[in-house]
Structure 1
Amino acid sequence: MKPHYLVILCLVFSSISIDLIAQTSSQPKKVKNIIFVEGDGTGLSQVSAAQYFKDGPSNYDRFPVIGLIKTSASSDLVTDSAASATAFASGKKTYNGAIGVTPDSIPIPTLIEIVSKKGWQTGIVVTSTITHATPACFYAHVDDRNKHEEIASFLPVSDVDFFAGAGLKYFNKRKDGKNLLKTFEENGFIIETESLRDFESAEKLGFLLAPTSMPTMLEGRGNFLQEASKLALKRLTNTNGFFLMVEGSQVDWGGHDNDADYLIAELIDLDNTLGDILDFAEADGETLVVVTGDHETGGFTLAAKDGDYNTIVPTFSTKNHSATMVPVFAFGPGAENFGGIYENTEIFHKIMALLSE
């Protein structure tokens, strides 16, 4: 073979090798961890409030992918938190008030139950009771969201490895006289009821820091949501993967009260927590973060004051939920799948599709 042909062949094979290396190095990473964040009662106007009332930029601005979900329940045009959380956790439309069950009250598997079978660790962090509608739908199966003691009985024997929130009375001051704190201990949990701190030797760890709900931000709750979420990430990070559900529960309650100061303080707390979560996901590179709301509460708007387009006055149109679509924000491997307009059940199915890859 003539020398110049050898040179050409070498150049061709070198080019192919470089292209293959580039393609290999640019292949997206698979999802190892999933953090699902819900702002209860958080619609687009609630998210927008961070743009106007937070000191500094909103962490919602950091998400590259945005979608919209339709939120109706199987029973009603306007959903409640239970039906919506069941849609997220199990991919099934159900009736308002249902906790992890179908419209026929049949239990359906939750994301926590599914990923635990893959060897993942799981966690829940909320500013409500741990038996409240949203967290309950990820570990319990009960026909009525108001059955807090029945919901509580699922948690000690569930696949949850870490949790933080309130609701102590549903475990140790029960009408049936049972003390479920002992059941937690029998199942490998250390339960802390005073303060948020780590127990490095604990196999499983739970925090029940108030009899019912956590204090509001305006009452001085402080950075509980941030610190509990960071502790969860520290505890759950492992070689197999983890699923963590974080809820800013009380954004919804500010909406129900038509209390803009309450709502905005809770929304900013959630926004700050998102900053820590996104920092973790950016550094990790294998963590998918999906953020949404179960529904909008209060018919909240950011209105101009009497035609003064430089003054915003938060206003409400209802003390209840609304039927408006809710935004979805996604970051990390697989985030591109969460754009578009779709039913709230699709969040579950999109996550499951990524897990099967």
Structure 2
Amino acid sequence: MKKFLLLLSGLLLAAGATAQPAQGEVRNIIYLIGDGMGLSHVSLMKIEKGYAPTAFDRAQNIALITTYSANNRVTDSAAAGTALACGAKTNNGTLGLDAGGNRIESMIARATRDGMATGLVVTYYLQHATPAAFYAHVKHRGETDAITADMLPSGIDVLFGGGRKWLARECAEGGSYLDAFVRRGYRVATALEETADMHRGRVLCAVAEEEAPRAPERGDYLPEASKKAMELLAANTEGKQKGFVLMIEGSFIDSAAHANDTDWLEAEMNDFEKCVAAAMDFADAHPGTLVVVTADHETGGLSVPSGDKDFTRSESGIDYRYGTSSHTGSMVPVYLYGAGAERINGLMDNTELSQRMMELLGLE
């Protein structure tokens, strides 16, 4: 009897160990993309907070990435999103296809095929360039109906964002896309509040006809949706060998920078910072989680000049100046936290960042 109990105890310990990552092993990745976020955008947020600590300061490692596309030194979100999602260059405007028009597989598609759970959380519509780069294969980012058709079979478990008007359209298999998601086992919600009693399983939360409101009018939708997605994905992978990949986008950082609207930009950065903090807190509570925070490109050419050339003065003031209402070719930062943070270093291309993340998950 004693031998049996010892054997049973050993088997239980071994079973428990399969659900726990080995030291340094990456089981989950939370990938946060601040659309249009450059180092100056992070600087603006920190300056306006009086240099108080932010979630970005918790980063355990930092890198830089180049952002050019296959056909342009200044990328758009589709080409950059494809690079960050798939680890391959493509032409501006293209999603999930390489520069030759061949289909390429994103890390979320690879993770799904490998038995991992996956999720997307955005403030813009789910068919927009950055989220679509993780599941769609179209020559032009404006093919919204085709992108919606690609979303349905993607197998992504958790989806939070706008785009309800396209999801309400008729799909080839009958009924609307929303109906088709229900047939595939998703619980469908039209507001974040409706997901309060959803704690596991597949969820599609289409919070707006197109996009959610701008910050601060939308409240804490993005950080709360991010936390709910983490909760769902953690529950869906509890006790399993495989973890999850979750992409969270601060979509409107780009819009505010395009508008050269500093107050709006600050509000969007503060909102995104809450998501970064939530992801890092999750990593602290769930060993094996790597948090990667980066941008697809820089928007606005933002600089932070002194208000006076006389630096002998105790305070010269500062200004926020924009060089353009478009994108720039500047490199953007990468902030890393949690398991494997020390294994992504230095100056690299955006495609290499994606490739390294997939290597850490064994998704090459």
After TM superposition, the score normalised by the length of structure 2 is: 0.86
What is residue 104 of structure 1 aligned with on the other side? 100
Asked if residue 288 in structure 1 is aligned to residue 295 in structure 2, the reply is no
> Which has the larger displacement, 329-338 or 340-349?
329-338
Out of 226, 243, 246, which is 2:245 matched to? 243
1:36-55 aligned within 5 A = 36-54=31-49
Give the root-mean-square deviation of aligned CA atoms: 1.9
AA at the equivalent of 1:190: R
What is residue 18 of structure 1 aligned with on the other side? none
Work out the CA distance in 2 between the residues paired with 1:49 and 1:73: 27
Q: Is the 8 A contact 1:328 1:338 kept in 2?
A: no
Q: Is the 8 A contact 1:260 1:315 kept in 2?
A: no
Matched residue of 1:154: which SS?
helix
Out of 222, 225, 228, which is 1:225 matched to? 222
Matched residue of 2:319: which SS?
strand
Question: 5+ unaligned residues in a row in structure 1: which ranges?
Answer: 1-26
Out of 53, 71, 75, which is 1:75 matched to? 71
Report the structure number with the largest CA radius of gyration: 1
Q: Is the 8 A contact 1:190 1:202 kept in 2?
A: no
- The number of residue pairs the alignment matches comes to 330
Q: Is the 8 A contact 1:139 1:159 kept in 2?
A: no
Out of 211, 214, 220, which is 2:212 matched to? 214
1:1-357 aligned within 5 A = 28-54=23-49, 56-173=52-169, 179-196=176-193, 197-200=195-198, 203-218=201-216, 220-237=217-234, 238=237, 239=240, 240-307=242-309, 309-356=315-362
Work out the CA distance in 2 between the residues paired with 1:222 and 1:94: 35
Q: Is the 8 A contact 1:157 1:187 kept in 2?
A: no
Q: Deviations over 1:101-149 (max 9, x none)?
A: 1112221111111111221100000011110000000011111101111
Q: Deviations over 1:20-64 (max 9, x none)?
A: xxxxxxx84200100110000001001111211137421100001
Q: CA deviation at 1:72?
A: 0.3
Q: Is the 8 A contact 2:171 2:177 kept in 1?
A: no
Q: Deviations over 1:142-196 (max 9, x none)?
A: 1110111110111122120001111111111479996211111111111111333
Q: Is the 8 A contact 2:67 2:331 kept in 1?
A: yes
Work out the CA distance in 2 between the residues paired with 1:212 and 1:86: 22
Q: Is the 8 A contact 1:189 1:202 kept in 2?
A: no
After TM superposition, the score normalised by the length of structure 1 is: 0.88
What is residue 8 of structure 2 aligned with on the other side? none
Work out the CA distance in 2 between the residues paired with 1:50 and 1:260: 10
Work out the CA distance in 2 between the residues paired with 1:203 and 1:64: 32
Q: Deviations over 1:235-271 (max 9, x none)?
A: 0012320100000000000010111111111011001
Q: CA deviation at 1:310?
A: 4.4
Work out the CA distance in 1 between the residues paired with 2:71 and 2:86: 17
Work out the CA distance in 2 between the residues paired with 1:207 and 1:347: 29
Q: Deviations over 1:306-338 (max 9, x none)?
A: 448442221101000000100011111211222
Work out the CA distance in 2 between the residues paired with 1:285 and 1:201: 20
Work out the CA distance in 1 between the residues paired with 2:290 and 2:171: 41
Work out the CA distance in 2 between the residues paired with 1:216 and 1:356: 37
What is residue 7 of structure 1 aligned with on the other side? none
Matched residue of 1:288: which SS?
strand
AA at the equivalent of 2:213: P
Q: Is the 8 A contact 2:74 2:327 kept in 1?
A: yes
AA at the equivalent of 1:346: E
> Which has the larger displacement, 31-40 or 311-320?
311-320
Q: Is the 8 A contact 1:50 1:271 kept in 2?
A: no
